Structure formats: structure tokens, C-alpha cells
Structure 1
Amino acid sequence: MTKDYELMVIYSPKLSSEEVERLNETILTQIKDNGGEIIKTDVWGRRYLAYQINKHNEGYYYLNYFKLESTSIKNVKSAFNINEQILRYMVVAKES
């Protein structure tokens, strides 16, 4: 069953904006490779964090909207956990 998802990602501030853009494209490619469809991406840019994460006070915020089979979301999430340039992420299934 295909669901709509929102993915908020906070990337390390050590990266340049170009590197962050490439990293986000890599994540979107992983979603597509798992049968997903990208709806849109909102770039919030570099912002202060509410609290320190891994000794960082800032991060690059990206909000990605996509459709994906519910059985494939676990594969996509596992790729986020091993990437050290991602400070935090949250995937939320939107209600129909």
C-alpha cells in the first residue's frame, strides 16, 4: 500500500550548502530506488537548533515529501542511520 510521507532531515553545519544539496539528492535517489515518488522538497536552509546535537548548534533543514510503499520505508530509514552527516531525521506518514 502506497502512503504519503514527510521526511525532515537536519544535516551537519560542517558541510557546504552544495554538499548538503548533493547529500539530499542522494537520499531522494534512495527513495526512488525503493520504488518511491518524490513530490517536492522544501529547503529551510541553515538554522539554529533548539538544543545542541553532536556538539552542533546549527544545521541545514530539508523537508522532503514523497510516496512510497509502506513495506519499503524500513529500507530507506536504515540508510539514514549510517550517515554521519545527518544530525537528525524524522519520517512521518501523512494521514489519508
Structure 2
Amino acid sequence: MSTKYETMYILRPDLTDEIIDQTITRYQTLLAEQGAAPVETQHRGKRRLAYELKKFKEGIYVQMNYDAPTTAVAELEKAFRLSEEVIRFLTVREED
């Protein structure tokens, strides 16, 4: 059974545009492979953080909305934890 989720993650501000695009594509592909559909991604751009995270004062925000099984979310969050590009992430289940 699929559930609607929204994931917001913050990338390091020192990444190049090419690496940012590759990273976003990697996570979209990961979700698609895990059975998520459709994956809507919004690149929110570089913004100032409310407080310093891992010695960064800015971050590149990316938001994804998708329908997916719980296992897909677990795999995505595991990939976020292992990634050096992601400095913070949050996934919430959307109410119907």
C-alpha cells in the first residue's frame, strides 16, 4: 500500500550545479526503483539556515512529494544518512 510523503532535504552549499543535479536525480531514481510514483521535485535554491549545521550557514533546499511504500522511505533515509552531500533531511506523511 502506498502512502503520500513529503521529504525536504538540505544539500551542502559548496556543491556545483552539476553535482546538485546528479544528487537530485540519484534520489529520484532511488525512489522510482523502490516503487514510488509520481515523484515531484522542487529545487528551492540556496537559503540561509536558521542556525549552523555541520559548519554551514547556508544550504540548498530540495523538496520531493511522492506516493511510496514505507520501505522506499526507509531506503531513501538510509541513503541520506550515508551521503556527504546531505546535511539535514525530514520526511513527513501527508494527510489525505
Please tell me whether residue 32 in structure 1 is matched to residue 45 in structure 2.
no
Contact 1:28 1:38 in 2 (8 A): no
Q: Percent identity?
A: 28
Structure 2: tracts of 5 or more residues without a match: none
Find the aligned partners of 1:72 and 1:65 in 2 and give their Cα distance. Answer: 13
**Structure 1 segments of 4+ aligned residues over 3 angstroms from their partners:** none
The answer for unaligned runs of 5 or more in structure 1 is none
Work out the number of aligned pairs and report it: 96
Task: Output the TM-score relative to the length of structure 2.
Answer: 0.93
Question: In the alignment, which residue of structure 2 is the partner of 1:7?
Answer: 7
Q: Is the CA contact (8 Å cut-off) linking 1:34 and 1:76 kept in structure 2?
A: no
Aligned AA for 1:43?
H
Superposed CA RMSD in Å reads 1.1
Q: CA deviation at 1:74?
A: 1.4
